[in-house]
Amino acid sequence: MKRILQYIICTSLILCAGTSQAQDIHFSQFTETPQLLNPGATGVYNGYMRAIINYKNQWMAMGKAFNTEAASFDIPLFDYNERKAHLGAGINFFNDRAGDSHFGLTQGNICIAGIIPVSKESKLSMGVSVGGAQHKANLTGLSWGNQYNGTGFDPAVNSYETTPTNSFVYLDLGAGIYYEYFSGKATLDRNEAKRFGFGAAYYHINHPVQRYFSVAEKLYGKLVVTAHGHFDKTGTKLSIRPSAMYVMQGPSSEITLGCALRIRIKNGTKITGFINESGISVGLSYRMKDAIIPQVYVELGDLAFGVSYDLNLSSYKKASRMNGGAEVSLKYFIQKGALFKQKHMI
């Protein structure tokens, strides 16, 4: 029975990887997971600190679906003069679990980036990520055929099965390069911004070994390429926010394209910089051959909140009934005020 159990577990892992188009976790609001996608993006922003919390509940139609939580924090270090090289430092954590066995992954990473100003409007950074991960599953929560009492499964019936908890840990390494451009035109009310960034990262450089009972496999390396932008339309309260992500891990790949329209609700204070502007964004993303993702993002000064939902369009929709997954993000971002932005933007 033990060999049958191993076969079932390994088969389930393969099916899960094939359905999600990658072996790693992923969030639909990928612009809100900068450290998870590129350690080079650590500390690359016009502010003092950034903290983000993410939560996703995927494939709810399956019953006990995939639940993923993540949190990150990063700051620029020694950023006394934006025209000089400095560092970015951050930490991030995520936990992913699924099904009755709570099979999942828990991982924490430390990210360090070296940030070099290319010009007064742009920065280039290179970063590394060092993390520790643990895969685990508690098989005592599973049901067995000999627990069927004629009308249903009875957990009180002894299954006579040996179901050990399978757990293993490993070191995980990643590296990335990231470029960001930020400029703007000063107007009477505010600074009209033009910002875009793009980067590439490679994870699982050391190809850590995954061990499921007697089965051992090296984890595929993962290439992540991202791009995003923010473009204010001068003379209006509107902004366009395009985004794109490409992921390749072994034989699997993922392409997600999106765009959001942002409406400015309130201007920030231009002279003192004590109050940052507020706005709301409404957008749509498409993960090719998998899902359409409507999303809403609300910014209230230093605090921002995002919500999205994956509408599954792949062949799996027969089982999922198009229920892909709900996702929320919460960000606290202490930005540099308009007074500090202005001297670099004019």
Q: Establish if 62 belongs to a structural domain.
A: yes
Residue 201 pLDDT exceeds 70? yes
* CA pair distance 155, 51, nearest whole angstrom: 43
> Under a CB-based contact definition with an 8 Å cutoff, are residues 27 and 36 in contact?
yes
Residue type, 272: T
Q: Establish if 145 belongs to a structural domain.
A: no
Burial class (CB in 10 A: 0-12, 13-18, 19+), 207: middle
Instruction: Identify the CA nearest to 58 among candidates 325, 329, 308, 328.
Output: 325
Average pLDDT over residues 45-70: 83
Residue 331 pLDDT exceeds 70? yes
Residue 199 pLDDT exceeds 90? yes
Q: Establish if 14 belongs to a structural domain.
A: yes
Q: Establish if 66 belongs to a structural domain.
A: yes
Task: Report the pLDDT value the prediction gives residue 12, as an integer from 0 to 100.
Answer: 42
How many domains does the structure of the chain reveal?
A: 1
Lowest mean pLDDT among 45-59, 177-191, 277-291, 325-339: 177-191
> Under a CB-based contact definition with an 8 Å cutoff, are residues 313 and 327 in contact?
no
Residue 23 pLDDT exceeds 70? no
Average pLDDT over residues 330-345: 62
Please, which pLDDT band fits residue 58 given cuts at 50, 70 and 90?
confident
**What share of the chain has pLDDT > 70, as a percent?**
71
Q: Establish if 147 belongs to a structural domain.
A: no
Average pLDDT over residues 154-163: 66
Task: Report the pLDDT value the prediction gives residue 295, as an integer from 0 to 100.
Answer: 96
Please, which pLDDT band fits residue 217 given cuts at 50, 70 and 90?
confident
Task: Report the pLDDT value the prediction gives residue 80, as an integer from 0 to 100.
Answer: 66
**Which CATH number fits the domain that encloses residue 334?**
2.40.160.40
**What share of the chain has pLDDT > 90, as a percent?**
48
Please provide residue 315's backbone torsions phi and psi, each rounded to the nearest 5 degrees.
-65, -20
Please, which pLDDT band fits residue 79 given cuts at 50, 70 and 90?
confident
> 153: how many CB neighbours lie within 10 A of its CB?
12
Please, which pLDDT band fits residue 91 given cuts at 50, 70 and 90?
very high
Which one has a higher pLDDT value, 41 or 323? 41
Q: Establish if 142 belongs to a structural domain.
A: no
Q: Establish if 337 belongs to a structural domain.
A: yes
Instruction: Identify the CA nearest to 308 among candidates 29, 15, 21.
Output: 29
Q: Establish if 161 belongs to a structural domain.
A: no
In this structure, are strands 191-203 and 86-98 parallel, antiparallel, or unpaired? unpaired
What pTM was estimated for this model as a whole? 0.81
Residue 82 pLDDT exceeds 80? no
Task: Report the pLDDT value the prediction gives residue 142, as an integer from 0 to 100.
Answer: 67
Instruction: Identify the CA nearest to 146 among candidates 129, 158, 162.
Output: 158
Task: Report the pLDDT value the prediction gives residue 235, as an integer from 0 to 100.
Answer: 81
**Which range of residues forms the domain containing residue 246?**
2-137+166-345
Residue 178 pLDDT exceeds 60? yes
